[in-house]
Amino acid sequence: MAPQIGWYGLGSMGRLMAENLQKHLAKKEDEKAMIYYNRTIASGDTLKSLGATPAESFEDLVAKSDVVFTMVSNDSVLEDLIQSAIKSAGSLDGKIFVDCSTVHPDTAEKLSTELSSHNATFLAAPVFGGPAIAATGKIVVAIGGEPAACEKVTPYILDVFGRKVIPCGDKARNSSLLKIGGNIVTLNLMEAVGEAQIFAEKTGLGTGPMQDLITDAIGPVAGGYSQRLTTGIYAPSLDTRPGFGVSLSIKDADHALSIAAEQGMKLPGLEVSNGKMKAAREYGGECLDASSMYGVLRQEAGLPFWNEKSRQGGK
């Protein structure tokens, strides 16, 4: 029989991933409709319209599900959820927990050990890509943990909400390591793209030609980051949720820097990017995208933090 799929976490990424998964389930006669829960249950209204069923609580979700996907903001939220499942959801025998969040490898290893002692399995399956890519079902997913469990859940990821699954072996911590390492590239790329666009603006070249160059010569990922800057997405209006919140990105960078320090190495580029994100948050508050380091770069170049298309329209 097909497993019962449950989903918790319907933020800017989780909701889109869950919707793609429910659409996949709805097409298969032998699959069951998804069960979901979220702290703000109204965030699942679209899922419900697609045929998914809301649970009464996270514990209810776990009790009714064979495979539980989670997509949450940080390590402590995930740890609280797993502890709640252990204490209140009844038997966890045979259940598979698939976490798509970005958490510290030590957290992944700890939760894997704890769930194993209750005859359940923890898989770390962090994702690469923002909401625009998630909407198309084309994110990349790294997966690590017990091989048989990975094999069981991969058909619910590959060509469903992810275009590629990267196996990371039988340790959940390894996929968390890959995600954190990948974020070093992402954040340094945002910094580089921001510097190039400010160079173009200050010299009078203009951001349009630079946008074309970055997209066509360097690649669509870099072009997407560039567009987040020039279209003002780095600092959206206060009633709009950022694509990837600045505090979440700072958390990810802090994880990478702490791991690097443990290995006796430095990440100088990431230190610069992280410092600018923290300065951006201090200046503009929480409702900023990870790419808001661009606003600080603008200030350092004698320009306003806000460009014409951002929250305050260049003021």
From 170, 202, 227, give the residue that closes a domain: 170
Which pLDDT belongs to residue 306?
95
What pLDDT is attached to residue 107? 97
The whole-angstrom separation of Cα 198 and Cα 204 is: 10
Asked whether residue 308 is domain-assigned, the answer is no
Q: Tell me if 119 is assigned to some domain.
A: yes
Residues 36 and 130 both lie in one domain: yes
Do 221 and 241 lie in one domain? The reply is yes
Task: Identify whether residues 14 and 137 lie together within a single domain.
Answer: yes
Q: Are residues 99 and 16 in the same domain?
A: yes
57 part of a folded domain: yes
Give the residues of the chain that fall short of pLDDT 70: 314
DSSP-based three-state secondary structure for 139: strand
In this structure, what token pair is assigned to residue 40? 């703000």
pLDDT at 69: 98
CA proximity to 213, closest of 193, 240, 184, 183: 193
Assigned domain for 306 exists:
no
61 CA to centre of own chain: 22
3-state secondary structure of 35: strand
Nearest Cα neighbor of 234 from 298, 139, 303 is 298
Q: Is 309 helix (H, G, I), strand (E, B) or coil?
A: coil
pLDDT of amino acid 182 = 96
pLDDT of residue 312: 84
Which domain does 34 fall in, by range?
Answer: 5-170
Please identify, among 119, 136, 170, the residue that sits at the C-terminal boundary of a domain: 170
Q: Quote the pLDDT of residue 220.
A: 87
- Looking at the structure, do residues 204 and 159 belong to the same domain, yes or no? no
Q: E strand or H helix at 6, and its extent?
A: strand 5-8
- The CATH number linked to 217 is 1.10.1040.10
CB 72 within 8 A of CB 18: no
How many other C-beta atoms can be found within 10 angstroms of the C-beta atom of residue 91?
10
Tell me, yes or no, whether 50 and 195 share the same domain.
no
Residues 165 and 182 grouped into a single domain: no
Q: Are residues 70 and 153 in the same domain?
A: yes
243 in the same domain as 152? no
Position 283 in a domain: yes
Domain boundary among 119, 152, 170: 170
pLDDT of residue 242: 86
Helices (H), the chain: 14-27, 45-49, 58-64, 75-88, 105-116, 131-135, 147-153, 172-203, 207-213, 220-230, 246-262, 268-284, 293-300
- Residues in Cβ contact with 262 at an 8 Å cutoff, skipping those fewer than 6 apart: none
Q: What is the pLDDT of residue 150?
A: 98
In a domain, 312, yes or no: no
In this structure, the answer to whether residues 202 and 289 fall within a common structural domain is yes
pLDDT for residue 16: 97
238 and 107 within one domain: no
